[in-house]
């Protein structure tokens, strides 16, 4: 079970996190642990399903995700694709480079803005997308549609968006503090 640890030797933002966690009433700590466990389980299961499906077709998990996204949404710019898979542009560039070598995608410069490169599936990529038995997102979509009422879906989305924004801010602050500490150590 997920338990709160003493973060005194961790960076200052972790100490602040510890103070925030200490403010949670004891009666809610078990619920917080259960929520964290559910999120970790869903993430882990999603990665496992993606990895298993991708391996059947000689892909990595991120490559499978790119194939499914491009198949569903059509051509996307590198930045749009990066946003969709929640990865840095440089990471997605590497994924796309490997997929291009395999003949699954190609790049096309935008006619409107030459700085923008659109990524699109080739015929081989579309054929592969049709061969995929299932897609992990479809399992979760189905579960959400079956388990929750529409109003609950709206509420869950609002709460998850709020949580994601908070986590993103914490990660950025922690990364900024680490970079600042490294810079001061280099002086």
pLDDT at site 37? 95
Q: Is residue 140 part of a domain?
A: yes
Query: Which one has a higher pLDDT value, 164 or 24?
Result: 164
pLDDT at site 162? 94
pLDDT per residue as tens digits for the range 119-160: 999 999 999 998 886 667 788 888 899 999 999 999 999 999
Write out the residue range of the structural domain in which residue 133 sits.
12-147
Kindly tell me if the per-residue pLDDT of 19 is higher than 70. yes
Quote the number of domains for the chain: 1
Report the CATH number that the domain containing residue 58 is assigned in CATH.
1.10.10.10
pLDDT per residue as tens digits for the range 53-106: 889 899 998 999 899 899 989 999 999 999 998 889 899 999 999 999 999 999
pLDDT at site 28? 85
Q: Is residue 6 part of a domain?
A: no
Q: Is residue 81 part of a domain?
A: yes
Q: Is residue 5 part of a domain?
A: no
Q: Is residue 178 part of a domain?
A: no
CB atoms within 10 A of CB 104: 23
Please count the CA atoms within 13 angstroms of the CA of 35 that sit on its side-chain side: 9
Q: Is residue 41 part of a domain?
A: yes
pLDDT at site 145? 93
Torsion, Cα 32 37 43 45, to 10 degrees, reads -150
Q: Is residue 181 part of a domain?
A: no
User: What is the spatial distance between Cα 164 and Cα 39, in angstroms, rounded to a whole number?
Assistant: 12
Query: Which one has a higher pLDDT value, 11 or 30?
Result: 30
Kindly tell me if the per-residue pLDDT of 6 is higher than 50. no
Q: Is residue 154 part of a domain?
A: no
- The whole-model pTM stands at 0.65
pLDDT at site 115? 87
pLDDT per residue as tens digits for the range 161-182: 999 899 888 888 887 777 777 7
CA distance readout (Å), 84 to 33, 92, 101: 28, 10, 22
pLDDT per residue as tens digits for the range 47-66: 888 888 889 899 998 999 89
């Amino acid at each position: 079970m997920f338990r709160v640890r003493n973060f005194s030797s961790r960076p200052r933002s972790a100490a602040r996190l510890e103070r925030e966690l200490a403010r949670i009433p004891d009666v809610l700590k078990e619920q917080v642990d259960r929520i964290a466990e559910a999120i970790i389980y869903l993430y882990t299961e999603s990665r496992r399903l993606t990895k298993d499906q991708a391996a059947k077709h000689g892909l990595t998990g991120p490559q499978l995700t790119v194939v499914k996204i491009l198949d569903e949404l059509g051509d996307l710019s590198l930045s749009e694709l990066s946003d969709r898979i929640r990865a840095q542009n440089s990471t997605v560039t590497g994924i796309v480079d490997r997929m291009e070598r395999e003949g699954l995608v190609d790049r096309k410069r935008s006619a409107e803005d030459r700085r923008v490169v659109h990524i699109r599936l080739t015929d081989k990529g579309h054929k592969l997308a049709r061969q995929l038995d299932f897609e992990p997102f479809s399992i979760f979509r189905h579960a959400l549609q079956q388990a929750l009422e529409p109003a609950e879906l709206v509420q869950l989305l609002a709460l998850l968006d709020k949580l994601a924004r908070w986590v993103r801010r914490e990660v950025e602050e922690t990364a900024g503090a680490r970079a600042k500490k490294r810079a001061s150590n280099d002086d």
